[in-house]
Amino acid sequence: MVRYADLAFYMTEYGGNIIPNEEFQCVITRASTYIKAITFSRVDENNIPEEVKAATCAVAEVIYKAESSTEGEKKSENTDGYSVTYVTEQTDGEIKEVILRKKQYAAAYPHLVLTGLLSRGCSG
């Protein structure tokens, strides 16, 4: 599996500082898999464009944040009977994975929109 970005690109070119070094390889691999899927495997793995590298870093940060957050922002709290309500991004019936996919696409889109890699049409 080709990783579309490395730690050096993430830290210097992309300016990333959210993903710890020891977790980077795992997260960037998963982000690369996602980018490969939404670009229909059309990325030239021998000459990866800067836009693809940046999109992969953006998606990796989304994945890392989703996995590292243990609880959401508090919406309300009642200390008498200890009742806490957290803000959720989900609507009734919507699962976390759907929210994660939406965030991943939103993170990748600005980097890839002008590349033609998101197009479902044939290129010939």
Does the residue 53 lie in any domain?
A: yes
- The Cα 16–Cα 57 span in angstroms is 8
Give the residue carrying structure tokens 């976390």.
96
Q: How many CA atoms lie within 13 A of 27 on its CB side?
A: 23
Mean pLDDT of 106-111: 98
| Predicted TM-score of the model (pTM) | 0.81
Residue 59 in domain: yes
User: Quick check: is 49 in a domain?
Assistant: yes
Q: pLDDT at residue 66 above 60?
A: yes
Domain tally for the chain? 1
Average predicted confidence (pLDDT) for the chain: 87
Residue 124 lies in a domain: no
> Is residue 87 pLDDT above 50, yes or no?
no
Instruction: Provide the residue range defining the domain that includes 61.
Output: 7-112
Is the pLDDT reported for residue 97 higher than 90?
A: no
